[in-house]
A and B are shown apart, each in its own frame.
Chain A
Amino acid sequence: MTTPQPSEGAELRLIGLTKRFGPVTAVDNLHLQVASGAFIALLGPSGCGKTTTLRMVAGLEDPTAGQILLGDTDLTGLKPYRRPVNTVFQSYALFPHLDIYENVAFGLRRSGVKDVKAQVGQMLELVQLTGFERRRPLQVSGGQAQRVALARALVNHPKMLLLDEPLGALDLKLRREMQLTLKRIQEEVRITFLHVTHDQEEAMTMADTIAVMSSGHIEQLGHPEELYERPRTRFVANFLGQSNLLRTTVSGRNGDLAVLRIADTTVAVPADRVPSSGSEVHVGVRPEKLDLVAADEAVPQGRNALEAVVIDTSFMGTSTQYLVRTGWGQELTVFAQNRHTEVVAPGTLVRLTWRPEHAFVLEADAETPAAPRPAPVP
C-alpha cells in the first residue's frame, strides 16, 4: 500500500463522466479540469448530479462511462480504498464506537504509518481540537464533529479532499466560522479541494473556482466574480443571486455600445457582449446595480434609464428591496442601500438607472423572460 506523503495535491480531470441509475441520467458526459491545489465548488440544486460526481471521484459509485484522472493516475475502476483521495461526508460519518483520536488515526493505521500519535496530534491542533482525543463523537458538538471529520480526512495527506455538503448540518453562525476555517486550512495544506454544495454564498466565499451544475452537466465554470457578474446562462443568472432579465431586440450600435430596443425605449450594453448572430437577447441587471431615482430627476450622462412604478417595498435594515413594474408590465427587483434617502412609497413613479457595463447579456431562448422571483428576505 502506498504511504501517503505530504503532497500539494494533484490535478483532477474528469473526461466524459457519465452515471446512469436505471433510466435516470444523474451525470451526463461531464468534462472538468481542476488545477492542482485549487479549491473548486460544484454548485447546484439538489438532484443536479454534484454529489454523484463527488462519489464517483471517491470511488463510491462506478461511472457508467468516462474517465477520472488524478495527476498521472487513472482512478476509474480503482477501489475507493486504493484512491489517494479522502472524503468529508455530509453527516460526517464519524465512527461512534471509536474516540476522536482513533477516528482521526483510522486511515493512518490502515496504511501502516509509523508516527500515528504525532500526526494525529498535529492534525487535531490544526483543527483546534487538542484535548478532545478521548471523547466519543456523540460527546462533541456539531461544529467539533465537523472538524474531526476534516482532520480524519486530511491526516492522510490525500492528493485531493472531497467535501460533500460538509457544512449543511451547522447553524448559520457556525457555518460562517467553518467557511473561514476551511479556507484557512486549504491555504495551509495546499491540497486540491472539491467541495459540493447547494449554497451559493458558501461556494462564493470559499472556492476560487465554481462549477455551476444543472441536470447532470456543468452550466458554467469560472471564478465566483465572473459567474456573478457575467453569467452565461439563465440558470446561472438566477441560481447565483437574483437577476432582472429584460427581453430586447438588437437595433443598432453606438460606438462601443450596442443599442437594444425594449418596448418603447432603448438600453445600451457593451457591444462585445452581444452575440453577433440573432436579433433577440436578454439583458440582465443585478438588483443592487439598479439605482432608483425620482422620475423628474435628470439621468446622468451615459446611464441607462427605465421608468417604472413602485409596487412593493420591504425594508431590510441595511437596504430596501423594491418591487417595481415597468411600462410593459414586467416586475423588476431593486436593492437600494439605505444611505440617505427615505423609502419610496408604493405607487410612486420612479426611474431606474444603471451603467451599461453593469449589465450582462444572455442569448435569448424560446422561453419568455419570467420576472425574477422576489428573493426571500435573508
Chain B
Amino acid sequence: MTGAPVTGGSVTGGPTTPPLIAPAADTGTDVAPPVRGRGRWIPYLLLLPGLLWLAVFFVLPMLTVASTSLQEGSLARGYELTWRVANYTDAAQRFAAQFVRAFTFAAASTLLALVVSYPLAYFIAFKAGRWRNVLLLLVIAPFFTSFLIRTLAWKIILSDSGWVVGTFQALGLLPEQGRLLATSVAVIAGLTYNFLPFMTLPLYASLEKIDRSLIEAATDLYASPFTAFWKVTWPLSLPGVVAGTLLTFIPAAGDFVNVRFLGTPSQSMIGNVIESRFLVVLDYPTAAALSFTLMLAILLLVGLYVRRAGTETIV
C-alpha cells in the first residue's frame, strides 16, 4: 500500500498534507477511495420507500391534527384556522383528571408487567432448557387472537358471576357485594395483560445474551446468588427493562379499549376522551389538541426516562 497519488480528482479536494509528513503518510487519507457515481445514492434510495410512507401516513396526518387543534367552529358551520391556542389550555383544564389517570394506570400496569415478566423471562432465558422455544411461543400465542376479543374475554373472566370474583369473595379478598369488573383494578389488569408480551420479549432478549461466566465470576468473587443477580444480572438486563417499559407504557397511556370493556366512564383515560371527542361529540379541535398534548407528554416523560436510564450502566 504505497502512496502513489490517486489519479483523478479526489486528491485536489483532500486535506493539504502537512509538510513534515512524508508523501507516503498521506495515503492514510486517500487509501479508501470515496464512493463515486451512482453508488453514492444507493443508501438514500434505500431510505426512500420508508420516508415516503412516513410522509404520507405520519407527517401529513400530524400536520392535519396540528392544524385542527388550532381551529374554531362546529361541524355545522365548518372549521376555520384561527390559531386558537386556548383549545389546548381549555382541554388540559377540563380533562386533567383523565390525563392523570391515563399516566397512573399506564405506570401501574407497566410496573405490574415488569414484576410479572422479569421472573418469567429469567426462567425462559436461564432455566427452561429445551422448553425455551415452546415457552416463547406461549408468550406470543395471545397475538394469534384479536386484541378486542381477548379484552372481551377478560370481561367474562372478571364478571360478577365469574369464578375469579367468587374465589376472591370466598377468600375474603373482596367484600360480599364487591366486584372486579368496572373498577380500576380490572382496567389495570387488562392493560397489564394486553401488553405483557411487549415486556417479556425484550427482557428475555437482554437476559438471554448475558454471558453465564459473568455470573460464575461474580459468585467466584464472593457474591451470593442474590448479590450476583443484583450486581451483575440486573444491571446487564437494564436495556431490556428500558425497552420493555417503553413498549408497555406508551401504548398503555393512550389505550381506550380496556376502559371501554372493563371499566366505566369514571375510570376513563385520556384515550377514551379523545375517542369520544372525535367520534361521538365531533369536537375535532379539542380532540386534536388532546392528541397533541398526549403525544408531547409521552415524549417528555419518555425522554426524561431514557436520559435517566442512559446515564445508568447500560452497555
Q: Show the binding face of A for B, using Cβ within 8 Å.
A: 1, 58-60, 79-82, 85-87, 89-91, 93-98, 106-107, 110-111, 138, 152-153, 156
* B223 interfacial contact with A, CB 8 Å: yes
Minimum CB–CB distance for A207 against chain B, Å: 22
B2-10, B70-78, B210-218: which lies at the A interface?
A: B210-218
Minimum CB–CB distance for A258 against chain B, Å: 51
Residues of A within 8 A of B218 (CB): 95, 106
A138 to B236 Cα, complex, angstroms: 14
B223 to A60, Cβ gap below 8 A? no
Residues of B within 8 A of A138 (CB): 315
User: Would you give 10 A-B contacts (Cβ < 8 Å), ordered by A?
Assistant: A1-B222, A80-B220, A85-B220, A89-B217, A91-B211, A95-B218, A95-B232, A97-B236, A98-B313, A111-B222
B39-84, CB < 8 A from A: none
Minimum CB–CB distance for A175 against chain B, Å: 20
A93 to B222, Cβ gap below 8 A? no
Inter-chain contact count A-B, CB under 8 Å? 68
Q: When A93-B214, A96-B315, A97-B315 are in contact, do A80 and B235 touch as well, CB less than 8 Å?
A: no
Minimum CB–CB distance for A345 against chain B, Å: 41
Q: A60-B219, A97-B235, A153-B220 are in contact. List 9 more A-B contacts (CB 8 A).
A: A87-B217, A87-B220, A95-B214, A97-B236, A98-B313, A106-B231, A111-B222, A138-B315, A152-B221
B222 to A110, Cβ gap below 8 A? yes
B218-251: CB near A (< 8 Å → 1, else 0) gives 1111111001000110011000000000000000
B220 to A79, Cβ gap below 8 A? no
Residues of B within 8 A of A59 (CB): 219-220
Tell me the interface secondary structure of chain B in the complex.
Answer: helix
A111 to B220 Cα, complex, angstroms: 12
Of chain B, the residue at the smallest CB distance from A84 is: B222
Residues of A within 8 A of B235 (CB): 97
Residues of B within 8 A of A82 (CB): 222
Residues of A within 8 A of B313 (CB): 97-98
Of chain A, the residue at the smallest CB distance from B227 is: A110
Minimum CB–CB distance for B117 against chain A, Å: 21
Of chain A, the residue at the smallest CB distance from B221 is: A107
B176-230, CB < 8 A from A: 211, 213-214, 216-224, 227
Q: When A96-B315, A97-B236, A98-B313 are in contact, do A89 and B223 touch as well, CB less than 8 Å?
A: no
Q: Which listed residue (B220, B221, B236) contacts A96, Cβ 8 A? A: B236
Residues of B within 8 A of A91 (CB): 211, 213
Minimum CB–CB distance for B209 against chain A, Å: 11
B213 to A89, Cβ gap below 8 A? yes
A156 to B221, Cβ gap below 8 A? yes
Of chain A, the residue at the smallest CB distance from B315 is: A96
B304-315: CB near A (< 8 Å → 1, else 0) gives 000000000111
A81 to B220, Cβ gap below 8 A? yes
Residues of B within 8 A of A111 (CB): 222
Residues of B within 8 A of A90 (CB): 213
A60 to B221 Cα, complex, angstroms: 12
A86 to B221, Cβ gap below 8 A? yes
Residues of A within 8 A of B224 (CB): 79, 81
B213 to A80, Cβ gap below 8 A? no
A80 to B219, Cβ gap below 8 A? yes
A107 to B216 Cα, complex, angstroms: 13
A58 to B216 Cα, complex, angstroms: 10
Minimum CB–CB distance for A220 against chain B, Å: 30
A236 to B232 Cα, complex, angstroms: 42
Q: Which listed residue (B214, B217, B219, B232) contacts A79, Cβ 8 A? A: B219
A15 to B35 Cα, complex, angstroms: 67
